[in-house]
Copies of this chain bind each other. A is one copy, B any other.
């Protein structure tokens, strides 16, 4: 969490309304950045969406890039609680469950797809966020594929690190194609097919 509970100076604290407004703004910024990207979306767009003036918006977030970072962090918090992982869930189940869930929130996919590629450009404020995210994901998947290999579930010859990088790449690439042609691309189906081909059926 970035903000602690409101101090106990009032019934619900003097900041209860402020936090609510903050949420409204983040919601608006999420929609705008998803639809037009960070470079293509303006603070005025966000302010209009949030039902306030552009200057009021900047009272809550000191700059446009601060707003972007807040949106990205807020999304991580939200998705963690809206789509919680089972404690003993395996890699495959977690990926498929999330991919199925993602189909219900295309706006979030749009945000990540657009901002991720945009962040590869010169001086983009989101670059660090996505570099870290990819490194973290590759590490996590790599460990889980190694565990699967230890239990003889990974197909012989498959490198856990390459599989981790490929899984992330495949997933992202599928989502991009899905955004451009939702009727021609089945993200979940393709991910299942990838797992089918790099894993060995349980107990064999």
A: residues with CB less than 8 A from B are: 35-37, 39-40, 110, 113-114, 116-122, 127, 130-131, 134-135, 138, 155, 157-159, 162-163, 165-166, 168-174, 176-177, 179-181, 184-186, 189-190, 193-194, 196-198
The interface residues of chain B lying within 8 Å CB-to-CB of A127 are 180
Whether B39 and A158, one on each chain, are in contact in the complex, defined by CB atoms closer than 8 angstroms, is no
- Decide: A197 and B39 in contact? CB cutoff 8 A: no
CA distance A162 to B134 in the complex (A): 25
Residue from the list B130, B177, B193 in contact with A159, Cβ < 8 A: B193
Which residues from chain B contact A122 at a C-beta distance below 8 Å?
35-36, 40
Please tell me if the beta carbons of B197 and A185 are within 8 angstroms of each other in the complex. no
User: Are the C-beta atoms of A169 and B165 separated by less than 8 Å?
Assistant: no
- Can you list the 4 inter-chain pairs with the closest CB atoms, starting with the nearest? A169-B173, A117-B117, A173-B173, A39-B39
Contacts of A169 in B (CB 8 A): 169-170, 172-174, 176-177, 190
Q: Are A179 and B120 in contact (CB under 8 A)?
A: yes
What are 7 A-B contacts defined by CB distance under 8 Å? A36-B122, A127-B180, A158-B197, A165-B174, A166-B194, A169-B176, A197-B198
Distance of A113 Cα from B127 Cα, bound (Å): 14
- Chain B contacts for A184, CB-based, 8 A: 135, 138, 165
Flag if B189 contacts A162 (CB, 8 Å). yes
Cβ–Cβ contact B117 & A116, under 8 A: yes
Complexed CA–CA distance, A118 and B33 (Å): 11
**Is A190 in contact with B162, judged by CB distance below 8 angstroms?**
yes
Name the B residues within 8 Å of A138 (CB-CB).
Answer: 177, 184
Nearest B residue to A33 by beta-carbon distance?
B121
Decide: B165 and A185 in contact? CB cutoff 8 A: yes
